[in-house]
Amino acid sequence: MTTGNYKNILAILLLLPFLYCMGFGTSKKETLNFTDEGFISDNEFQVILKGFPDKKTKTMVAQRETARASAAALVEDVPVSKLAEHICATTQYAGFPETIKLFQKYKKYGYIYEEFYLIDNSIMIVYRFRKSGLKKDIESFPCGGKK
């Protein structure tokens, strides 16, 4: 390969992260928002989870380990439930198991975006669902298990 080809490949690799972010339409301000739950863009939905340390633990390490364990238990089911509740909040079906089951298909788009410990050794987990056109797709979803 010639030097020119390497420069072209390098330029493409440097542009990929920028193009990726542009494609999902999330601004830096939205990306760094770790307090709000709900849609932060048309393609991303954010859930904030908090795990608390066991009060019986004495050391900082032990407290953080128990906080992490309590938060890890939440990651399995809570984000999908909050997604369903956000969309179905105005209906009587928001908390029904059959409604939450319908939203399980979005679980594959979820991931832990950020996690950090607070001064009290609790842990905050910022969990996000990312899918192109997520908001449009979700908002047209029928609540109550009826299609």
| Banded pLDDT at 136 (limits 50, 70, 90) | confident
Amino acid (one-letter) located at 16: L
Confidence grade of residue 126 (pLDDT, cut at 50, 70, 90): very high
CB 108 within 8 A of CB 130: no
What's the pLDDT score for residue 33?
66
pLDDT in the model for residue 29: 47
pLDDT per residue as tens digits for the range 6-63: 666 666 666 555 545 544 444 444 556 677 788 899 999 999 999 999 989 999 999 9
- What's the rounded Cα separation, in Å, for the pair 145 and 147? 7
Q: Which residues 6+ apart lie within 8 Å of 131 measured at CB?
A: 43, 106, 109, 137
Q: What is the pLDDT of residues 77-99, one digit of tens each?
A: 888 888 888 777 755 555 566 77
